[in-house]
Structure 1
Amino acid sequence: MSEIKLAAISAFGLEAIVKRELKELGFENVNTDNGWMYFDADIKDIPKANIHLRCADRVMLIMGQFEALSFEELFNKTYELPWEKWITKDGKFTVKGKSVKSKLFSVPDCQSIVKKAVSKKLCEEFDVDWMPETGAEYTILVSIHKDIATLSIDTTGAREGLFKRGYRERSTEAPLKETLAAALVKLSFWNKHRILYDPMCGSGTIPIEAALIGRNIAPGLFRTFASQNWPIVKDEYWKNTKIEARKQIDLDTDIKIYGSDVSEKAIKIAKENAIEAGVDDCIEFFVKDVNHLSKPEYEYGVLITNPPYGDRIGDIEDIEKIHKKLGQLYGNDDTWSKYIITAVGSFERDFGKKADKKRKLFNGAVKVEYYQYYGKRP
């Protein structure tokens, strides 16, 4: 019973980073399929994956995979799975669904069939006429892709994915998700011995995620997860995982991270968020209009930033002006590595230089490019 299959779900473009994270955590047989990273695990690994993964959206417990060409087949094969080993007698369970390129294309019907099959199995196993659903929450996902159904339970929590670190009580308009901000840092050449600067930091997400990485603070250390209320995932598993995570925190390295923004309100929020995250000693936030920046004082720094675009600012001329200013300051400085995420297609032209590498990502539903300019290493 202890050997299980888990899957980490990530946003498009981040699969390779999440796969690398899983391997660094010691997980084996990591296989990527359509945005899901499947890996072999033990029940004790449910806390480990949820607490340590920085760039995944959530961790799913895989109950089973099978071909489903009819509703009868979906019902019968769902019923056969060992739901009673995970869902308690009073467990509250909801079913979500999605279907892509499959004969069973009606998602509401698929959800209803799975709900009935699980209910029947649990009622029979617990010898009851109906499930009260007053206890711990279990969110079941039925995902059908090319007629292959994957049934899983969300161990993270349906309402709060892994991007909910717990430190960002307040944010500015159109903030980056914490998971994406962490991915931007991990895709860069930055490490805790180099300077990092975000000149349009908003509520401070990129600098804070970098500081968490630099300090080696597990991103889920100070939050709760749905599976904490599941009896099978014992309290001691969570306690032991957190104890080990705390032991790994680096409080000795002198980390230098800077963040600025034109908005005094944004900087105030950023400072509050950094304090909440426990990394305010690593970051210096200050108010500064990007158009009034001067050339960097330091060499071999790393710039990572998310300039305004789309609905975040109305005037395209203002956006282009910001891009050009960044190009003037950093474009010809070959000691700095530059990483800019934006949905504006004219960025390279405005910046004045072709990127060494571009990566397609999604900021929420917005398709963006991550422009990467590699500077010399110290």
Structure 2
Amino acid sequence: MEYLYTATCLFGLEGLLGQEIDDLGFRRVETIDGRITFAGDENGAATAAVNLRFAERLYLHITSYTARTFTELFDGASDVPWEDYIPKNGQFPVKGHSIKSTLFSVPDCQKILKKSLAVRLGRHYGVKFMPETGDLYQVEFFILKDKVSLMIDITGTPLHKRGYRPERVTAPLRETLAAALAKLSRPREDVLLWDPFCGSGTIAIEAAMMMKNIAPGARLRFSGEATGLFPANSWNDAREAAIAAELTETGFRARATDINPECVRIAGDSAKRAGVSDIIEIFEKDALTIETGGMRGTIVTNPPYGERLMTVDTAEQLYRDMGSHFKTLDRWQIYVITQNEDFAQLYGRRPDKVRKLYNGMIPCYFYQFFKNNK
């Protein structure tokens, strides 16, 4: 039996997410901004949840239909055999989004869909009120240009929360975006990856996990496991397969450094939890004093900016100093993500490529300098 799944991602990462969906053997059905729908079998939920590195959430896609009135919205949902998915005591809260659609009020759409599901389920189970005392079946709707998609969330905690970073850390960069930056920098075994403004170490950790083939969800639990919608053994099977595929040896090496000793401590602890402390050197260092040491290397970093850690003027001077110092790193490639649209001018060099990405809903610019000759 074929299942449809929908994976969401940060804007700008659709290409990376689509490629890993292909690599896992799924068939892509539809790609739109921030989400990809794909087909797989009953084990696909576990395989995708455990292995997708660039996805934010994963859903079981239930149905799609057109609705321009609340009656059409109600009736379209009512046609779904929800009793095949949600048991008598299941909790089924409804939330979602509406974009460029006639039905633009999200709270009103929530109420209509909740009522439609409750009426259908109540009629099937022979009750006036659904108790909702059991496991969670989070129903999500997404309305784009009057096309309604109804889904059930099967991840629970967002997939960017890998579990290695302390919850108390207010980190500026999502793990999924950090993984994308690492991927776009083309990490290789014979090239050192160095993040000189490492913060909690996320970029270096994600790069190291990638190079050790550590699946981001191999040691996580997902809400879909409790739903009974998928084979019970598929989750552990997917985790065990992912762990068995991890590499114990790799020539890849990374460095994560920061001028703040507390950041260095947190990065070190996070690297240990992620299982990559053996291939990352983490220590305190001023970014403007790093040297090549005769090695080939790549800088991938998220430097401080004016709204975080320092004033705008101080941040802009830092960018100028980065340009002056990093040009001494002969033949190293430089990759910098920042919210500052004027970074290249301040840095003093024209980038070979600029890619617009999003950290949550915050637009950022990924400046890529492929040639760094003196």
TM-score when normalising by structure 1:
0.94
Alignment of 1:127-276 (within 5 A): 127-157=126-156, 160-170=157-167, 172-276=169-273
CA contact under 8 A between 1:290 and 1:322: conserved in structure 2?
Answer: no
Note the alpha carbon deviations across 1:137-172, whole angstroms, 9 max, x for none.
111112111111111111111xx2110101112564
Q: 2:323 aligns with which of 315, 320, 327?
A: 327
C-alpha displacement at 1:335, in angstroms? 2.2
Q: CA deviation at 1:255?
A: 2.7
1:19 corresponds to = 18
Residue correspondence of structure 1 range 1-378 to structure 2 within 5 A:
2-157=1-156, 160-170=157-167, 172-291=169-288, 293-331=289-327, 333=329, 335-375=331-371
Provide, for residues 198-245 of structure 1, a one-character-per-residue CA deviation record: whole Å limited to 9, x for no partner: 000001111111111010000011111110111122320001111110
Q: Aligned equivalents of 1:272 and 1:240: distance in 2?
A: 29
- Give distance in 2, aligned partners of 1:170 and 1:9: 22
CA contact (8 A) 1:19 1:30 kept: no
Once residues 169 and 314 of structure 1 are traced to their aligned partners in structure 2, the CA distance between those partners, rounded to angstroms, is 23
Partner-residue secondary structure (3-state), 2:325: helix
Q: How many residues align?
A: 372
User: What SS is found at the alignment partner of 1:99?
Assistant: strand
Checking the alignment, whether the CA contact within 8 Å between 2:204 and 2:256 is kept in structure 1 is yes
| CA deviation vs aligned residue, 1:58-113 (integer Å, no higher than 9, x gap) | 11111111110111111111011122222122111110022122221221111111
For the residue of structure 2 that corresponds to 1:311, the secondary structure is: coil
Gap runs ≥5 in structure 1: none
With over 3 angstroms needed to count, the CA separation of the structure-2 counterparts of 1:256 and 1:144, relative to structure 1, is same
User: Distance in 2 between the 1:257 and 1:234 partners?
Assistant: 39
Output the amino acid matched with 1:90: N
Note the alpha carbon deviations across 1:259-298, whole angstroms, 9 max, x for none.
101111111111111111111111110011223x143214
User: Residues 201 and 141 from structure 1, CA distance in 2 versus in 1: closer, same or farther, beyond 3 angstroms?
Assistant: same
Indicate how the Cα distance of structure 1 residues 192 and 120 shifts in structure 2: closer, same or farther if over 3 A, else same: farther
| 1:86 to 1:192, Cα distance in 2 relative to 1, 3 A | farther
Q: Distance in 1 between matches of 2:189 and 2:113?
A: 47
Give 1:322 shift. Answer: 2.2
Question: For the Cα contact (< 8 Å) 1:171–1:269, is it kept in 2?
Answer: no
Structure 2 contact 305–311 (Cα < 8 Å) conserved: no
TM-score (norm 2): 0.95
C-alpha contact (below 8 Å) 2:268/2:282 kept by paired residues? yes
Q: For 1:271, give the aligned amino acid.
A: G
Residues 258, 285 of structure 2: 8 Å contact kept: yes
Q: Could you tell me whether the CA contact under 8 Å between 1:331 and 1:353 is conserved in 2?
A: no
SS at match of 1:320: helix
- For 1:309, the aligned partner's letter is Y
Identical amino acids, percent of aligned pairs: 39
What amino acid sits opposite 1:295 in the alignment? E
Q: Distance in 1 between matches of 2:239 and 2:189?
A: 23
Supply the distance in 1 between the matched residues of 2:76 and 2:311 (Cα, whole angstroms). Answer: 55
Q: 1:298 to 1:317 in 2, by over 3 A?
A: farther
SS in 2 for 1:6: strand
* Equivalent residue letter for 2:319: H
Deviation at 1:362, TM superposition (A): 1.3
